[in-house]
Structure 1
Amino acid sequence: MAKLSLAALVPLRSDIAHKVSELDQEREKNAFCVYVKGEQAEEPTRSFALITEELEEAREDFRVIDELIHSANLAHKITWNNQEISLFTAMQIAKHMRKEAASLKRYGSMKKEELNTGGYFNGGDKTITRAMYDIEKARESGLKLERKVKRLSQLIEDECHNIFLEFPQAEKYIELED
Structure 2
Amino acid sequence: MSNLSLAEAVKLKSVLAKRIHELEEEMDRVAFVEMEKGSKKPKQARSLSKVEEEIDDIRKDFRLLDKLMYQANFKNKVSFNGEELAIVEAIELATQLRAKARKFKEFGSSAKEDLQFGYGEGVPVIRKAMFDPEEYRVKAVEQERLANRLSNAINTKNYSIVLDFDSDKYF
Q: TM-score band, normalised by the shorter chain?
A: over 0.9
Q: How does the TM-score come out when normalised to structure 2?
A: 0.94
What amino acid is the match of 2:134?
A: E
Residue aligning to 2:52:
52
Residue correspondence of structure 1 range 1-178 to structure 2 within 5 A: 1-118=1-118, 126-168=124-166, 170-174=167-171
SS in 1 for 2:131: coil
Contact 1:34 1:41 in 2 (8 A): no
**Change over 3 Å in CA distance of 1:123–1:58 after alignment to 2:** farther
What amino acid is the match of 2:142?
A: K
Contact 1:118 1:124 in 2 (8 A): no
Distance 1:57 1:32 in 2: 23
Deviations 1:58-102 (A, max 9, x none): 111110111111110000001122221100000000000001011
SS in 1 for 2:36: coil
Q: RMSD across aligned C-alpha pairs, in angstroms? A: 1.6
State percent identity of aligned pairs.
35
SS in 2 for 1:62: helix
What amino acid is the match of 1:88?
A: V
SS in 2 for 1:172: coil
What amino acid is the match of 2:169?
A: K
Q: How does the TM-score come out when normalised to structure 1?
A: 0.90
Cα displacement (A) at 1:124 = 8.7
SS in 1 for 2:126: strand
The answer for unaligned runs of 5 or more in structure 1 is none
What amino acid is the match of 2:11?
A: P
Distance 1:8 1:101 in 2: 28
Cα displacement (A) at 1:149 = 1.2
Contact 1:118 1:125 in 2 (8 A): no
